[in-house]
Structures are given as structure tokens and as C-alpha cells.
């Protein structure tokens, strides 16, 4: 009889879990709480996480943020001007897999409120003007297709026209295979656009953002930067760990492809905490643009004159 009671209790526990009402996606979005899956420390208030710039206060994990939130963090709320780029027609190959590519685009646009994965703006940090493009990982993994390519090229041309630096905040899964060879052609187009930027002696800085940058994005535009910086703990790779391990048939370093590992191998210039990004970016661009050189020269000339006058008076 004991086994019957056990079976009965087991059935009741299953029934309890099946009938339990779990929160819907809308309930989760409207809730004041959010789970911290990064370190299993339990749910926290969204307001607290936002106060920490969406960085876990316990394990310092950088949570993924959308471009508008990033721009507000970098430049101040609404203290930036969006660049509106004309985009090419959707779904040039009429691609269909488990569902039409056009339907995937509609879902991504509804989810993010963007026409494509790229959002660009013109902004300033301490009077240093720059054009910044950010990739939205919630838009089909921020994969690069013809629309994203045209948007990035338009932003780069804007930087050339305004004679200012171009900054790319990258979080991307690579090229978008729903557009096939047209997507892969973006790698060459973006390389040409960056070369035009460099012909005009304008700095190009890449910021690798959470959660990752991989595939053709790493193999093209982000590898052409003058300075490459990254948020702590992000993934920077071409192929995934399992693909690399299966190819070389070796056990890989546990931290391989993490930003600290990439920094140690020389592919990255610096890691930076999210709160320090504006200050670091300002300092880097000030050096690359040689800002303050004339002021320093005038100060040095003035100091030299003062020394001469003091020497004459002493003699």
C-alpha cells in the first residue's frame, strides 16, 4: 500500500505544477522585478538594476541593453540626434524557412521598435563630436543584412561629412543568412567604407558590447578599428567554441573568446567598465584627434616667456 500512497502523492505534485499559473511574457515585462540568471542570486528590482547601468551588482555581469538605452547612458537622456537612413527593400531573395523571412522582420521590428538592427546618432562628449552606431541584439541577433549595411555606410558617410570620429557599439551574431550572398557582400562594402573614413584621417573606435560579437561582423568591420575596447566579460569570436574544439580536436581554455582572454592575446586594446565608457572614449578620441595640442603649445610658449623674464630680472 505504501507504493500506492507514493504514486498518489507523485500524481498530486504533477497536477499541482500543471495547474499552477505561470507569469506570461507581458506579466514579466510589466513586473517591477527581473531575474538575475547570471549568478542565480534571485530576482531584483528593475529600478535597482537600471541604477547599476544594467550591470549585476553581485557578479558584475553586463546585461544586454538596447541602443537607445546605451546612447542615454553615454550622452545623457535624449542628448543625441538620431540619424535616419533610407533603407533598401525587404527580403530581396523572398527567403522562407520555417516561416517567411518577411514575417521574422515584422516580429523583430515590433519587438525592438527599430526598422533594422542598427541605430545611429550624432552626439558629443565634452564638446567632442562623434557619430555612433549601435547594434540591437534583440533584432534577429543583430545580424548584418543589406539594411544594416546601408545604415552603417550612411552613418560612416555622415561622420566623413561632419569631419568627426565614428564609433561602433557592436553586439552581433554575424551576417544574416536569410539574405545569402547579399549579406556576405556587406563585409566588403563595410571594409571599403571604413577605408574611406581612414583616408580622411578620422578615428574609428569599436566597443564590443554584451553579449557577444561573432562571425562576419568580427571578420570585417570590427577588426578594422584604430582602437578596440570591450565591456567586461563579453564574447569576441569568429566561430563558436564547440566548432573550434571539433576542428582542432583539443580541449580549449575555459576562458577562450572572453574579452579578458582576447585582451591577453593582443586582439583587444582595453577592457572597460560600463560606467567608465564615456570618459574612456573621450580620452581616446582626444588623443587620436590631437585635441588640446594648440592650447598646450600656447601654454608652453607662455611658460618659456615667463622663464626668460624671470631670468633677466634675476640677472
Give residue-wise pLDDT tens across range 22-56.
666 666 667 788 877 788 777 888 888 888 999 98
Residue that finishes a domain, picked among 61, 83, 108: 61
pLDDT level of residue 18 (50, 70, 90 thresholds): low
Same domain flag for 113 and 126: yes
Is the pLDDT at 112 greater than 80, yes or no? Answer: yes
Residue 122 and residue 58 in contact, taking contact as beta carbons nearer than 8 Å: no
Q: 97: burial class by Cβ within 10 Å (0-12, 13-18, 19+)?
A: exposed
The pLDDT of residue 21 is 63
Q: What is the mean pLDDT of the chain?
A: 88
**What pLDDT does 271 receive?**
96
User: Dihedral of CA 145/75/191/63: which sign?
Assistant: negative
101 pLDDT more than 60: yes
Domain count, the chain: 2
pLDDT in the model for residue 28: 63
Same domain? For 145 and 107 the reply is yes
The pLDDT value given to residue 298: 45
57's CB contacts (< 8 A; 6+ apart) are 44, 48, 49
DSSP 8-state assignment for residue 88: P
What CATH number has the domain bearing residue 266? 3.90.226.10
Assess if residue 24 is contained within a domain. Answer: no
- Give one word for 39, left, alpha or beta, with left for phi > 0 and alpha for psi -120 to 50: alpha
Quick one: pLDDT at residue 252? 87
For residues 153 and 191, the answer to whether their CB atoms sit within 8 Å is no
Say whether both 43 and 139 belong to one domain. no
47-86 pLDDT, tens per residue? 888 889 999 888 889 999 999 999 999 999 989 999 999 9
Tell me the average pLDDT across 211-216: 96
Q: Are residues 140 and 50 in the same domain?
A: no
Q: Is the pLDDT of residue 279 over 70?
A: yes
Q: Are residues 205 and 233 in the same domain?
A: yes
Range of the domain at 51: 30-61
Q: Which residues, in sequence order, are CB contacts of 54 under 8 Å at separation 6+?
A: 62, 63, 64, 65, 69, 274
Please, which residues have CB within 8 angstroms of residue 104's CB and are 6 or more apart in sequence?
A: 140, 178
Phi then psi for residue 233, to 5 deg, are 85, 5
Q: How confident is the model at residue 212 (pLDDT cuts 50, 70, 90)?
A: very high
28 phi/psi in degrees, rounded to 5? -65, -40
Instruction: Please count the CA atoms within 13 angstroms of the CA of 11 that sit on its side-chain side.
Output: 6
Determine contact, residues 175/146, Cβ cutoff 8 Å. Answer: no
Q: In this predicted structure, what is the pLDDT of residue 251?
A: 86
User: How sure is the predictor about 15, in pLDDT bands with cuts at 50, 70 and 90?
Assistant: low
Domain membership of residue 284 (yes or no) is yes
Q: How far does CA 31 lie from the centroid of its chain?
A: 26
CA proximity to 189, closest of 162, 157, 161, 167: 157
In the prediction, which pLDDT does 254 show?
86
Find cell 514575417 and name the residue.
103
Answer yes or no: do 45 and 143 share one domain.
Answer: no
Residue 173 lies in a domain: yes
Residue 299 within any structural domain of the chain: no
Amino acid at each position: 500500500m505504501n507504493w500506492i500512497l507514493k504514486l498518489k502523492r507523485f500524481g498530486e505534485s504533477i497536477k499541482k505544477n500543471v495547474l499552477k499559473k505561470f507569469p506570461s511574457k507581458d506579466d514579466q515585462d510589466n513586473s517591477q522585478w527581473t531575474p538575475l540568471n547570471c549568478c542565480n542570486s534571485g530576482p531584483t528590482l528593475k529600478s535597482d538594476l537600471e541604477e547599476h547601468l544594467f550591470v549585476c551588482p553581485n557578479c558584475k555581469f553586463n546585461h544586454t541593453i538596447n541602443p537607445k538605452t546605451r546612447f542615454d547612458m553615454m550622452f545623457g537622456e535624449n542628448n543625441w540626434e538620431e540619424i535616419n537612413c533610407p533603407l533598401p527593400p525587404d527580403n530581396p531573395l523572398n527567403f522562407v524557412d520555417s516561416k517567411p523571412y518577411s514575417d521574422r522582420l515584422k516580429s523583430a521590428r515590433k519587438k525592438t521598435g527599430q526598422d533594422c538592427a542598427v541605430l545611429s546618432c550624432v552626439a558629443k562628449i565634452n564638446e567632442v563630436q562623434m557619430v555612433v552606431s549601435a547594434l540591437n541584439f534583440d533584432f534577429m541577433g543583430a545580424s548584418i543584412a543589406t539594411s544594416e549595411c546601408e545604415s552603417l555606410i550612411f552613418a560612416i558617410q555622415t561622420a566623413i561629412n561632419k569631419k568627426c570620429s565614428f564609433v561602433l557599439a557592436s553586439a552581433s551574431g554575424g551576417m544574416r543568412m536569410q539574405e545569402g550572398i547579399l549579406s556576405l557582400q556587406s563585409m566588403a562594402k563595410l571594409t571599403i567604407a571604413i577605408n574611406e573614413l581612414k583616408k580622411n584621417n578620422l578615428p574609428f573606435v569599436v566597443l564590443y558590447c554584451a553579449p557577444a560579437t561573432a562571425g562576419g561582423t568580427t571578420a570585417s568591420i570590427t577588426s578594422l578599428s584604430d582602437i578596440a575596447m570591450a565591456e567586461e566579460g563579453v564574447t569576441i569570436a569568429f566561430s563558436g567554441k564547440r566548432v573550434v574544439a571539433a576542428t582542432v580536436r583539443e580541449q580549449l581554455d575555459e576562458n577562450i573568446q572572453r574579452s579578458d582572454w582576447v585582451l591577453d592575446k593582443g586582439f583587444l586594446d582595453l577592457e572597460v567598465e560600463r560606467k567608465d565608457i564615456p570618459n574612456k572614449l573621450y580620452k581616446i578620441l582626444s588623443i587620436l584627434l590631437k585635441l588640446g595640442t594648440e592650447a598646450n603649445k600656447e601654454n608652453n610658449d607662455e611658460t618659456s616667456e615667463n622663464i626668460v623674464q624671470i631670468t633677466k630680472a634675476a640677472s
